[in-house]
Amino acid sequence: MTGVRRLQGGETALLRELRLAALREAPDAFARTLVDALTQPETYWTDMERSVTDPARHVMFVAEDGPRPVGLVFGIRKSATDADLGGMWVDPRARGRGVGRALGQAVVDWARSEQFSRVLLWVTDGNLPAQTLYERLGFVATRRRDTLPSNPALATMEMRLHLGNGASAP
């Protein structure tokens, strides 16, 4: 049975392990590269862990299949009204079992509880499984497009989910 929980303080090694696995397995899905992440000092990882375990800042959710971590996602405070869903990854061995949906829903639930008006995300064009997952969570594509910072040959598109928590700009 797969469960989803918030990353806790003191779990820097787990954060690093999952993030590096994601960058290694799906390099065209993220703004950063594996090489960049591997060259970061320990303080980078401890600072990141602190930023996602401080209740007043961001959040990271971990999916686990028993004791084995199988996925992660970040919820980022972007502005007073907007949160970002970012860095989602599910181990290929756990795909197709609802793990991505559970991780995405965890960020949506967090954003709703924090009174954000909407959740935004960027997805690589052509990543149909991810795009379909986000659509099933209620996200819709906007007209915003960009290039993937880690691979400028690839395009990305923004998707948005309105939460109904107050006013939000289009």
pLDDT in tens, 67-88: 999 999 999 999 999 999 999 9
- List, for residues 15-57, the tens digit of each pLDDT value: 999 999 999 999 999 999 999 999 999 999 999 999 999 989 9
Q: What are phi and psi of 87, to 5 degrees?
A: 65, 20
Report H helices in 73-118. 99-113
Q: What is the pLDDT of residue 166?
A: 58
pLDDT of residue 9: 95
Domains of the chain: 2-162 (3.40.630.30)
Average pLDDT, the chain: 94
Dmax over Cα atoms in the chain, in whole Å? 42
Distance CA(60)–CA(73), nearest Å, equals: 6
